[in-house]
Structure 1
Amino acid sequence: MATLIGEPATRRVGASLETEIAGERVELLPEKAMYWPHERTLFVADLHLGKAAHFRAEAVPVPMGTTRENLARLARLLKRTDAERLVILGDLWHSQQALAPATLELVHAWRTKYSSLEAVLVMGNHDAKLDAIPKAFALRVEDEGVVMGPFELRHHPSDQGTGAYRLAGHIHPSVTLEGKGRDSLRLPCFWFGESQGVLPAFGELTGTARVHPRPSDRVFVVAGSRVMAVS
């Protein structure tokens, strides 16, 4: 892969891509997470735990086991990266209805298994609608704008900040790749601009929203089990 002058080098590490954000080496993972090796920190956004339970409570037929699958993917990432800290960039939970007893029990059992893991939640709009953040996940809750090293942690992307590089979620970014003829494919993506990066939604059943990056932005799509640079 050619590297433009002034553009951070990107290197493939298995199915992941290693690049530089805000002067720090990070790994973009096909599970739609970002790992910061220097601080052994794993970033995810928009898990929306319990979303399937919410829909079932509304009599909408959806697949079972989405929360279990989300937690299993998270467990595999923690094992593979050996992360000591998990940062959730908002919307850990989907709604008050999502807090079904079975869901909370599952989350509590998972968290007990990873009790030594430091977990931080940056409040998202769905989290803010809960009566209270459940204790099942055992985490520290922070408002948007908290700074961690060179990063300002947010849920909502913003044009204003502390001056640190902003990391956000919320919009579930995706881009459409055009093929020959009328073929096209929409894929979730990591979207990094000059002063802000947006992570793809980690959770199942979350959907995506098409974004329109600037020519100078860097975009990495998640294509099945691989991350690929497209701009």
Structure 2
Amino acid sequence: MKFKLHSEDIFLAPERALDWLRRRTLLVADAHFGKAASYRAKGMPVPEGTTADNLRRLDAAIDRHGAERVIFLGDFMHDAHAHNPRTLAALRDWRARRRQLALVLVGGNHDAKAGALPVDLGIDERPEGWREEGFAFCHHPCEIDGAYVLAGHLHPAWRLATRREGLRLPCFHFGARTGVLPAFGDFTGGMMVDAAPGDAICVVTPERVFAVPRAAAGDAAVQAAGAACMAALAPSVAPALGTSAQAQAAARVHAAKARKGEPETLNLLDGTPAYGRD
């Protein structure tokens, strides 16, 4: 999904990453590489393969618009147990294929616990609040004078609801001065967003990102957005919206856009959604 954020063209990727198009820069929050291995080391029955899956998604997000740099907004590694031979070998193999890619890490709370990164990963570490043009990059959401903050840490999620069912999804949450990215890593959970009036919420499915109309609970537009997302995920379980003509009309618009494969373009903090191709 493409949108404008402080006059910059941004793409929200279904891989749960943000693409700053003009700077060919991909932003990723909370990768938590090695988390599953860390849990297994503590005796928990956690499936293998999450690092490989995460790296495949990262490749897809990088290749979509030809990113030349990735900025990790904290929690690159989960903890000290994540520095196990298998996880590090996967990261080194990936890095060997991506030697021309610039990597930057703004440290998070888990990075501090995990310890120093291997030098051969070639990651440039920066402090929280590091700025570039009109943006400031942090792990912990905050406000910084003179900049729009992009951060992670919270693993934001949003609940879409219709009259019969609800669906909880990871989301991007953009306020007036701070934007929070969803957790990139698998097996990371999520925290429900407490959105203020005027904030923009964009929920993420495995294949699409949807802008959620902000309105009072039970509003027809909110129900329509919920139905459209559910239909995209699993048409067989998409619930009916009821008899409201407004709800049905809104649902038809969302469904038509989804069928045409038109990514939604949102002028964030303006409140006006629009549609257009990449």
Of 151, 158, 166, 1:175 maps to 158
Deviation at residue 130 of structure 1 after TM alignment: 2.5
- Mapped to 2, the partners of 1:164 and 1:23 lie a distance apart of 13
Conserved in 1, the CA contact under 8 Å of 2:173 and 2:202? Answer: yes
Q: CA deviation at 1:177?
A: 1.1
Q: Indicate yes or no: 2:147 matched with 1:164.
A: yes
Give a deviation string over 1:109-137, Cα, whole Å, max 9, x none. 10010000011000000001123122353
Report the counterpart of residue 25 of structure 1 in structure 2: 9
Aligned residues: 213
Q: Tell me, yes or no, if structure 1 residue 125 matches structure 2 residue 106.
A: no
Shift of 1:81: 1.6
Deviation readout 1:10-68 (Å, 9 max, x if unpaired): xxxxxxx1111122010011110110110000011000000011000001011110001
**1:152 and 1:162 in contact (8 A); partners too:** no
Q: Determine the C-alpha separation between the residues in 2 that align with 1:162 and 1:61.
A: 45
Q: TM-score normalized by structure 1?
A: 0.90
Q: 2:139 aligns with which of 155, 159, 165?
A: 155
Higher strand share: 1
Residue 161 of structure 1 and its aligned partner are, at CA, apart by 1.4
> What runs of 5+ residues in structure 2 fail to find an aligned partner?
214-278
Question: In structure 2, what is the equivalent of residue 65 of structure 1?
Answer: 49
Partner of 1:215: 197
- Partners of 2:6 and 2:108 in 1: CA distance: 23
After TM superposition, give the deviation of residue 224 of structure 1 in Å. 2.9
1:177-196 maps to which residues of 2 (within 5 A)? Answer: 177-181=160-164, 183-196=165-178
The answer (yes or no) to whether the contact 1:171–1:208 under 8 Å persists in 2 is yes
* One-letter amino acid of the counterpart of residue 213, structure 1: A
Q: Which of 81, 87, 92 is the equivalent residue of 2:71?
A: 87
Structure with greater helix percent: 2
